[in-house]
Amino acid sequence: MYSATAPAKVILFGEHAVVYGRPALAAPVAHLRARAIIEETGEADVKLIAPDLNRSADLSSANINNPLVATIRAVERSVGCALSEGYSLSVTSDIPIASGLGSGAAISVAIIRAFAQYLGRVDTMTNEVISQLAYEVEKLHHGTPSGIDNTVIAYERPVYFVRRQPANVIEPFTIARPLRLAIGDTGVRSATKDVVGDVRRRWEAAPDRFEAIFDACGRIASEGRAALAAGDMTAIGELMNENQSWLERMTVSSPPLERLIHAAREAGALGAKLSGAGRGGNMIALVTPELEEAVVAALMAAGAVRVFISDVG
Binding residues for ligand MEV, rule: CB under 6 A, are 11, 15-16, 18-19, 142, 145-146, 148-149, 192, 196, 276-277
CB of 273 to ligand MEV, least distance (A): 13
Reported in sequence order, the residue ranges of the chain that DSSP labels E, i.e. its strands, are: 2-13, 24-40, 46-50, 55-58, 87-93, 159-162, 169-172, 179-185, 271-274, 282-287, 306-312
Which residue number, 145 or 237, has a Cβ lying nearer to ligand MEV? Answer: 145
Which residue number, 224 or 276, has a Cβ lying nearer to ligand MEV? Answer: 276
CB of 55 to ligand MEV, least distance (A): 25
Q: Is 258 exposed, middle or buried (0-12, 13-18, 19+ CB in 10 A)?
A: middle
CB of 277 to ligand MEV, least distance (A): 4
CB of 105 to ligand MEV, least distance (A): 8
Element holding 235 (H helix, E strand): helix 233-249
Residue among 131, 128, 102, 140 at smallest CA distance from 10: 102
Which residue number, 38 or 260, has a Cβ lying nearer to ligand MEV? Answer: 260
Which residue number, 72 or 217, has a Cβ lying nearer to ligand MEV? Answer: 217
Residue 254 · residue 278 · CB < 8 Å: yes
- Sign of the torsion formed by the C-alpha atoms of 249, 305, 234 and 152: negative
Q: Is 149 part of the annotated catalytic residue set? A: yes
Which residue number, 16 or 273, has a Cβ lying nearer to ligand MEV? Answer: 16
**Between the CA of residue 311 and those of 32, 95, 182, 186, what are the distances in Å?**
11, 16, 9, 20
What percent helix, strand, coil does the chain show, rounded to 5?
Answer: 45, 25, 30
CB of 297 to ligand MEV, least distance (A): 28
Whole-number Å distance between alpha carbons of 67 and 104: 8
Whole-number Å distance between alpha carbons of 72 and 208: 41
Which residue number, 172 or 231, has a Cβ lying nearer to ligand MEV? Answer: 172
Catalytic residue among 149, 185, 208, 311: 149
CB of 107 to ligand MEV, least distance (A): 14
Per-residue buried b or exposed e for 224-244, using 16+ beta carbons within 10 Å of the residue's own CB? bbebbeeeebebbbbbbbbbb
Whole-number Å distance between alpha carbons of 169 and 97: 27
Task: Classify strands 179-185 and 282-287 as parallel, antiparallel or unpaired.
Answer: antiparallel
- Residues with catalytic roles: 149
